[in-house]
Structure 1
Amino acid sequence: MATPKVEDYLKAIYEFQGYDKLVAPSVVATKMGVKPPTVTSMLQRMDDEGLVEYECYQGARLTESGEKEALKVLRHHRLLELFLTEKLGYDWSEVHDEADELEHYISEKLGNRMEEILEFPLVDPHGEPIPTADLEIRRKETHHPLPACKQGDVAIISEVRHSKPDILTYLTNVGATLSTVFEVTDVAPFGMVTIEVKATSQTLSLPTEVAANIYVSQTSEGTTIESKRLKEMI
């Protein structure tokens, strides 16, 4: 059974690895808040345990066993976040750190019971997919980062990949939470993304580093606007 520290490493590697991509020790070190030599030592140990494949000076990728363990922790983390918001009245800005502490001590039985009480949710409070009991992840194929939008696009916020309480609180205060419909009014090169929230007509400018972690899906209204533009060009 993996220790809490090893589980944290597995989760960090899972977050950054793509298809067969090696995750550099420096990336894991930044995520974990430790020095690269510490990460290298841990990755070598995890390689010995069959949880990762480590390549010296290059990085590591999860093995099938390692990915399974990472998804278990991720499932418990996201179920906990949703349970805290839905049943205990936590704000979405408060749940990440709590879930980080509790995720290592949740049994499979308790995780399944929470899922049942929550009526088998698909996503956590931030819109990120919750792995199933079979450890399958439901991919969202149609959403993309906010900075990929063009001026005039109308979209809906489908996922927020931020865990910092101050950023989440700010987004709440300006009305930019999950399912918020907005129009992109300006996209500055290498700078701010400005949107107008449809429900309140409030305009807000988001720095690129914030906007890049907000994922959106185009609405039918956005499709209609785009079709209208095309007709006007003909």
Structure 2
Amino acid sequence: MDLSPIAEDYLKTIYHLEDENGRPVRTGDISTALDVTSPTVTSMLDSLDERELVDYTPYKGVELTDRGTETVLQLVRNHRLLETFLMEHLDYSWSAVHDEADCLEHYVSDEFTRRLATFLGEPVTDPHGDLIPDSDLKMPEKSPYTALTEYEPGDTVTVEQVPHRDPDVRDYLSRHRIGPGTQLVVDEVSSIDLVTVVPSTTETSVALPTHVARRIGARVVTK
């Protein structure tokens, strides 16, 4: 399908907002996520609706169609395989790899992606712990990891999945040396929407807003 990278970014944004907030997606949320004006969003949604990639109803919101979802899942597969390659073979850090893959994902062919997946050994998750759609563009039903918010004070866990699309969150976690593979001790789960953890990398308490901690997947460390 001949879509511009900008149009593909709109579809990806809708996909992620659907996942985070449910359907339908408000145009104002798209405007904020992409830092564009509301009239610009409306114009693009009209175009995507004409191509049957979204169902857009003014003042009510927008949803991806099956065709739109398939387009996005191919982009997501491209992106996550590229991230895996860049980290495993070009020594990118987990906090830097997202933006690089964002640029490249629009320009690789399906054949390249197929060969890349074979070369990498058909990985199921990317370096951030996010699931990778398979070659049939089917997404595994659920993450193999448990949200950090589900653990109790005193639990020791290993981080396997980190939120990374928001650069502020990504930078905060990176600055406190919390990333895939980091071992944490859950120190406190407060009533004011904070989870305090102690990373083994620094042994200094770090406060995480609940909405961030909920998106950090981890495995318990067995003793």
- Coarse TM-score class (shorter-chain normalised): 0.7 to 0.9
Percent same amino acid at aligned positions?
Answer: 37
Task: Say if 2:209 is the partner of 1:205.
Answer: no
**Cα pair 2:182 2:201 within 8 Å, conserved:** no
Matches within 5 A, 1:1-234: 1-18=2-19, 21-141=23-143, 143-163=145-165, 167-168=169-170, 171-172=173-174, 174-197=176-199, 199=200, 202-208=203-209, 211-212=212-213, 214-219=215-220, 221=222
In the aligned structure 1, how far is the partner of 2:201 from the partner of 2:63? 45
**1:209–1:45 Cα change, 3 Å:** farther
Following superposition, the deviation at residue 63 of structure 1 comes to 0.4
Structure 1 residue 181: Cα displacement: 3.1
Q: Which residue of structure 2 lines up, in the alignment, with residue 227 of structure 1?
A: none
| Equivalent residues of 1:196, 1:203 under 8 A apart | yes
Q: Tell whether the 8 Å contact from 1:182 to 1:196 is kept in structure 2 after alignment.
A: yes
Paired residue total: 221
User: Equivalents in 2 of 1:54, 1:14: separation in Å?
Assistant: 14
Native 8 Å contact 1:174 1:204 kept in 2: no
Residue aligned with 1:112, SS:
helix
**Do the aligned partners of 2:77 and 2:133 also contact (CA within 8 Å) in 1?**
yes
The structural deviation recorded for 1:23 is 0.7
CA RMSD of aligned residues (A): 2.5
Q: Which runs of 5+ in 2 are unaligned?
A: none
Question: 2:191 and 2:14 mapped to 1: Cα distance?
Answer: 31
Q: Secondary structure at the match of 2:33?
A: helix
Give secondary structure in 1 for the equivalent of 2:106.
helix
> What's the CA shift for 1:218?
4.7
Cα 1:13–1:7 shift into 2, 3 Å: same
Normalising by structure 2, we get a TM-score of 0.86
Query: CA offsets per residue over residues 71-118 of structure 1, 9 Å max, x none?
Result: 011111111111111111111121111111111100001111111111
The answer (yes or no) to whether the contact 2:196–2:206 under 8 Å persists in 1 is: yes
Return closer, same or farther for 1:95/1:200 CA change in 2, 3 Å cut-off: closer
Question: In structure 1, how many angstroms separate the alpha carbons of the residues matched to 2:166 and 2:108?
Answer: 23
Instruction: Report which stretch shifted further, 206-215 or 110-119.
Output: 206-215
TM-score by length of 1: 0.83
Q: 1:201 to 1:156 in 2, by over 3 A?
A: same
CA distance in 2, matches of 1:49, 1:24: 20
